[in-house]
Amino acid sequence: MSKLTCIAHRGGPLMNNQPLPENSLAAIARALNAGVDAVEIDIYQIDGELLVTHDRRLGRVVSGQGIITDLPLAYLREQTLENGEPLPTLRDILALVKDRALLNIEIKGANCVPVLQAQLAAFVIDHQLSFEHYIVSSFDHQQLYQCLHTMPQLKRAALIEGIPLDYAQCCEPLKAYAFNTHLSFITPELIHDARQRGLKNWVYTVNHEEDWRWLQYLGVDGVFTDKPDLLQNFNLRTG
């Protein structure tokens, strides 16, 4: 069996049975030190800045109240995670990850692409890196299509939840690299169609060994997991 690409979902917050806030610098640093293949984060664009968090509403992971896109950047920059870290920016994450792992940047909010293009291009040039270290994903295929035209050298991954009538056809106009699918909607036919189109198939969010074993049997390429240490151990035993 081929090993599953280990993608630390939101930084791998449940690693080592020692929870850390998701999308935190502390969680991501821990995952990088463990040698994960990739790290996944989420971004919103607020007043020309890219903030790294999953939820549109504050209060679960990030302090404060309200919907993130309704709030001024100054207020959001005052908020903290449960471990006391400030709400991180994409630039914070880029500086931490550098070329130590693939960085999967998931677009959550609207109007992210122009700022993402400017920040990512500047970081790559300043640090003499390559766009090969990055992939952008989203359920918002309109923004992925925008990425195709503004950053064609950046890999794209189409996120879906469900089983479309035409399977992975949505990836064709996006010239996607990967097809990121939900664990609850995996079928052999969906995986076969993605493979026939030359796509990587990465599945979210997978935290149990029986699921890793099943996906490995089906020929999935990689999984997003909150527990990358356990997936790494699984790969050592079975890969």
Q: Bridge-partner residues for 104, per DSSP? A: 40, 135
What is the arithmetic mean of pLDDT over 39-57?
Answer: 98
- Amino acid, res. 191: I
Q: Where are the domains of the chain?
A: 19-198
Q: Bridge-partner residues for 137, per DSSP? A: 106, 157
Q: Element (H or E) spanning 8, and its range? A: strand 5-8
The 10s digit of each residue's pLDDT in 60-110 is 999 999 999 999 999 999 999 999 999 999 999 999 999 999 999 999 999
Say which CATH topology domain 19-198 has.
Answer: TIM Barrel (3.20.20)
d(CA 9, CA 182) in angstroms, rounded, equals 13
Sign of CA pseudo-dihedral 44, 41, 213, 229:
negative
Give residue 1's pLDDT: 72
Sequence-distant (6+) residues with CB within 8 A of 10 are 22, 23, 27, 40, 41, 42, 54, 226
Q: What percentage of the chain carries pLDDT values higher than 90?
A: 99
pTM: 0.97
Structural contact between residues 212 and 206, judged by C-beta atoms closer than 8 angstroms: yes
Determine phi and psi for 103, rounding to 5 degrees.
-110, 115
Question: In the numeric block, which tokens belong to residue 86?
Answer: 């400030």
